[in-house]
A and B are shown apart, each in its own frame.
Chain A
Amino acid sequence: MIIYLKKIIFVFFIVLFVTIINSSIASAGAVLSDLENQLMCKCDDKCGKVLINCTCSTADKNRKKFTKMLESGLTVDQIVQQQIEKYGETVLSAPTKNGFNLTAWVIPFGAIMIGGIGIRKLINGWVGKNKPDIELQNIKGGIASEPGSEKPSEASSSKYSRRLKDELDRLET
């Protein structure tokens, strides 16, 4: 049952991931916003804001200029390229996804994956270490109680362990 559930969840997330990756970022009406999102404001005050967030007069002028450029048939990529040629990479609001800049995008997810694997190994190690102890206790208990001892039956033992588990579940859940 659990394996079946895991498979369903896995397939669900794969489908979701592919859907998200394939979805287009900008609709036709949001082309200017998309462009404004990709570029920084280059005013004399060095405000450090993304163009879409900036309200200074330089930003307003640039917006008008970009609107005209888009109306003249230039694409967002072409305008962005022009801006890079004029100001350098610093005009982009985010690192490009190639070359050295790719590390900016990959490293956070890489770190989380490594951390996740580490936690999984850690927990597996702990769980694995605890299991033999419990088994050993069961064996010891079995040997000690063999001749004439009052060893609880398997059914009653599992009944009590279920009850203990239930009570622990209820305790501070």
Chain B
Amino acid sequence: MNDIGEFTLMIALATSLYGTVAYVMAARGNRIDLYLSADKVPLITWACIMISSIALWKAFFTNDFSLQYVYAYSNIELDYFYKFSSFWGGQKGSLLFWALILTSYMMVVHIQNRSKNLIVVPYAMAVMLAITCFFLFLLNFSTNPFERIPLPPEDGRGLNPLLQNYWMVIHPPTLYLGYVGFTVPFAFAMAALISKNLDDAWIRLTRKWTVVSWFFLCMGNLFGASWAYVELGWGGYWAWDPVENAAFMPLIVATAYLHSVMIQEKKDMMKVWNMSLILLTFVMTIFGTFITRSGLIQSVHTFDEATLGYYFLGLLFFIIAVCTALIISRLPLLKSKNELDSFLSREAGFLFNNLLLLGIAFATFWGTIFPIISEAIRGVKITVGPPFYNQVNVPIGLALLALIGIGPIIAWRKATWSNLKKNFLKPLMFALIGGAILFPVVPLSNRSEIYTYIAFILCIFVLSSMLIEFYKGTMARYASSETYLGALGSLIWNNKRRYGGYTVHIGVVMIYAGIAASSSYGIHTEKRLKIGETIEIRDYMLRYEKLAAIQATSVKTRIIAQLAVEKDGKKIWTARPEKEFYKGQNQPVSEVDVRSTLASDLYVILADFSEDESATIKVYHNPMVKWLWTGGWIIALGTMVCAWPDRLEQRRRLERLKLQKIVFSPAQE
């Protein structure tokens, strides 16, 4: 099976190379025969990579340690659940996994569009196949997952204990689905540039791909935060590690793109900007891969054998050079037909939203690469860690939060004074009342707490502006509906993009609130306890009951501390934090225990223990962390509504175009 896996990788490379050339020639020469021939390539490439992937999975499940990759990331004792996820545990498998997702997406694009837009689609397929070729080249000639060991060992080295967590099965695939997903809008953007079809057709063709990829990237980041929270045992969820930054940056740029693309759809403006943003989003995904695989920047996520940095750097420069040249050569065709009418308009709001989003992305990028710049210029290696990102990104993030509230309720074209008064008065009043109520309650003793207070006021402003929009829409429809719920349902169903988007904003507000509260008001305490002794935090009292050792497997021993948690004299929970010791590993892994409510998390860590059964217990009280995860699910709901097929959309678009013609034509003549 390993031979077949290796062979199909070669076939996949040859086929995708052929497909790239054939699609381009078919489009350039209008050759139907070549197009029909190339038409089979996505399926063949996907099938080959799928066979290779199955071969690798089989090697993991059958403990085939003749494969160097299986030996490095698995062992006999490893649970099947983690054998499945070991596939992407290292560099070689993760690249194969990337290629598998990319070709699967390509198949779907192919099926969706095979009879549509024969000018743009062949170029888009060619771009996707060319990117597939790059990954297949690496898999065949640089980092082959089917590399053999001449004398196979009896057992493998096993998967890193930190990766033996259920999030390992969820987080990387989600993130990859997001990363790779942006290849589709990027490919269509490039195809539009190459074929000079620069209306909004490519945007409409890829809108759902963009939304879904954004969603996966967003959830991938949140899942990663959730994983860090339960696995790393330091009470936090985000450390601004370079690889975390690498996943965060494309998300932020893609968010800017998702917003600015609406202006192109509605007003036929900002074509160059949107092209640049989708290029930047894709470049950021490759940059993230470059960071993980170059070992150039110190990160907790860097792969053991980070040797592919130069390949990705080369790809990065190639993409930037080609895309920039293409955009410059098509500048006359990308000229906007319309212009902004006023500084006080939703379009201007979108521009400033883009500025702030790109500001955050740039600050993060700058912080990530600054150690390299410093070393190159001063010869001094420095570290850029969380204090930098928090100090720079928090004020920008707060300004962005304000814009999240302003953007959806300010009028398109030009906001009049009456419009501003009508739409902003109530949310502003709610925000001010909320701020006044919170003022005596929340502490304001340091910078972080003041920022949090501002964040809360802005959250109330945004939330109230969104809820008022839902309320107004529901009441307007209530006349023709029997119930309020029916009116709300019909409102959302008939305006999926708009109200789905508002729902996403509500989720974002919850995330903001969760981050603000947990990073400012969190407290922790630590105490060495003997059996029967207690440790207190806020209203909770934790009584240390016992320490137990369990030999879970032949390679894993669990040491579990048991603590009874009381609040107001009543037992409410039993905490069981533990430490896991793996054979052959220097550091034990902390498995924290968390009691999570919307108000706060009680986060218990077994920091240390000794033979007399005394243990050092660390307890964190983190307010509103659950708001982050809940916000994530609300974003998921909103995205689902946005991406749901909408039969009315085409009709609305035509009506809008007709209106645009009536409204804008006289001003342009």
Interface residues of A, Cβ cutoff 8 Å to B: 1-2, 16, 19-20, 23-27, 37-38, 40, 45-50, 52-57, 60, 88-95, 100-101, 104-105, 107-109, 111-112, 115-116, 119-120, 122-124, 126-127, 129-130, 133-134, 137, 165, 168-169, 171-173
**Beta-carbon nearest neighbor of B358 in chain A:** A115
Q: Could you say which residues of chain A place their CB within 8 Å of the CB of B306? A: none
B560 surroundings in chain A (CB, below 8 A) = none
Which residues of B lie under 8 Å from residue A16 when comparing CB positions? 450, 454
Given the interface pairs A25-B446, A93-B385, the reply to whether A56 lies near B355 with Cβ below 8 Å is no
Query: When the two chains form their complex, are residues A111 and B359 in contact, meaning their CB atoms are under 8 A apart?
Result: yes
B658 contacts the other chain (CB 8 A) = no
Shortest CB distance A120–B (Å):
8
B445–A40 touching, CB < 8 Å? no
Q: Does the CB pair A165–B416 fall under 8 Å?
A: yes
CA distance A135 to B299 in the complex (A): 60
Tally of A-B Cβ pairs under 8 angstroms: 173
Q: CB within 8 A of B419: which of A23, A53, A169?
A: A169
- Residue in contact with A60 in the complex, picked from B232, B299, B607, CB distance below 8 Å: B607
**Interface residue tally for chain B (C-beta within 8 Å):** 74
B300: nearest chain-A partner, CB-CB = A48
Interface contact B381-A89, CB-CB below 8 Å: yes
- A101-B382, A105-B392 known; A127 vs B446 contact (CB < 8 Å): no
Name the B residues within 8 Å of A88 (CB-CB). 380-381
- Which residues does B use to contact A, with CB under 8 Å? 232-234, 236, 239, 241, 266, 298-300, 339-343, 346, 348, 351-352, 355-356, 358-359, 362-363, 366-367, 370, 374, 377-378, 380-388, 391-392, 396, 409-417, 419, 423, 444-448, 450-451, 454, 498, 586-587, 590, 605, 607-608, 656, 659, 663, 666-667
6 intermolecular pairs with C-beta atoms under 8 Å apart = A23-B445, A90-B380, A93-B386, A94-B385, A112-B355, A134-B667
Report the Cα distance A25→B377, complex, angstroms: 31
Per the bound structure, the CA–CA distance linking A56 and B234 in Å amounts to 10
The answer to whether B587 and A53 have CB atoms under 8 Å apart is no
Q: Which residues of A contact B388 (CB under 8 A)?
A: 93-95, 104-105
Known contacts: A168-B411, A168-B663. The answer to whether A94 contacts B384 by CB under 8 A is: yes
In the bound assembly, the distance between CA atoms of A56 and B339 in angstroms comes to 57
Cβ contacts under 8 Å, B341 to chain A: 126-127, 130
Given contacts A24-B446, A48-B241, A100-B377, contact A109 B392 (CB under 8 A): yes
Most A CB within 10 A of own CB, among B388, B423, B659: B388
Specify which chain A residues have a CB less than 8 angstroms from the CB of B366 in the assembled complex.
104, 107-108
B416 cross-chain contacts in A, Cβ below 8 A: 165, 169
Asked if A172 and B351 make an inter-chain contact with CB atoms under 8 angstroms apart, the answer reads no
Of the residues B300, B387, B447, contact of A93 by C-beta under 8 Å: B387
| A169 contacts across to B, CB distance below 8 A | 411-412, 415-416, 419
Known A54-B234, A90-B382; contact A27-B446, beta-carbon cutoff 8 A:
yes
Chain A residues within an 8 Å CB radius of B450: 16, 19-20, 23
Residues from chain A with a CB closer than 8 A to the CB of B454 are: 16
